[in-house]
Amino acid sequence: MTIQTVSTNTSYGGVQGVYRHASQATGTDMVFSVYVPPHPAGAKLPVVWYLSGLTCTHANVTEKGEFRKACAELGLIFVAPDTSPRGPDVPGDANNAYDFGLGAGFYVDATQEPFARNYRMWSYVTDELPKLVAENFPVDAKRQSVMGHSMGGHGALTVALRNPHRYRAASAFAPIVAPSQVPWGIKALTGYLGPNKDSWRNHDTVALIEDGAKYSSFLVDVGDADNFLKEQLRPELLEAACSRASIPLTLRRQPGYDHSYYFISTFMGDHLHWHAERLKG
């Protein structure tokens, strides 16, 4: 698999790159970003995957996430995929809404038409893109972790729960923890997977835990001034599910913070240090 370099910039002694490739999973060109910190020649480095939220591309966290200083100090590769397939022939929401279709792939493999052909973001972020990154960057495949924001927090937690031996750590900013129970998730899962709610459970963090999935521990931050907290995010559901399943959860409710990258960038360093501890050795 080949990649095209869109841009590279030196930052904190490492290289921030943006790349494009033809994706077999989505049937479209996909753009993603990779930060590679300074490192000795021949070294293999741990990698943190970051899954973004609704309306985002790779660029939001790349430009506003403030992760590079910590990644350079900790020796972490940081990868940010797009959130959906894109292109003139890719179907979107019929009413051009922000919460379905383009920029809102929800990290599932769609089974419903007309989305099944392109919206295969689960396969993209768990299979195709990791293989591509491993072929082109100095990744230690035995030391991977995953994090995300909002829709991407949903993606990160479900990816970790379904692949606990691949990802050593998982954290999230303001995740949608129970998409089967909130408007954003109900709309997306119905549109991509159909009305049978049993098919939704593999893409619902709380449902996966209820069905027996286990994980070593989670770190989750939410802002108590987040406009989406009560209707869409519902962190108390994750807290209860983890408690019942004896899954260690550090849930931090941050006073005064909202849903934006001002919130994410403030606590990004905390999360990356937390990941780095679990990616050692």
Active-site residue, from 149, 154, 259, 271: 259
Name beta bridge partners: 104. Answer: 101
3-state secondary structure of 70: helix
Of 74, 212, 80, the closest CA to residue 146 belongs to 80
What is the distance of C-alpha 127 from the center of its chain?
Answer: 14
As given in the structure block, the two tokens for residue 136 are: 């082109």
Q: Is residue 150 annotated as part of the catalytic site, yes or no?
A: yes
Q: How many CB atoms lie within 10 A of CB 237?
A: 17
Active-site residue, from 99, 204, 221, 226: 226
As given in the structure block, the two tokens for residue 114 are: 């007309």
Active-site residue, from 23, 52, 145, 150: 150
Q: From residue 41, how far is each of 4, 29, 47, 138 by CA, in Å?
A: 23, 31, 17, 9
Report how far residue 138's alpha carbon sits from residue 4's, in angstroms, rounded to the nearest whole number.
Answer: 17
Q: Is residue 221 annotated as part of the catalytic site, yes or no?
A: no
Q: Is residue 243 annotated as part of the catalytic site, yes or no?
A: no
Cβ 191 vs Cβ 115: under 8 Å: yes
As given in the structure block, the two tokens for residue 24 are: 């077999």
Cite the active site residues: 150, 226, 259
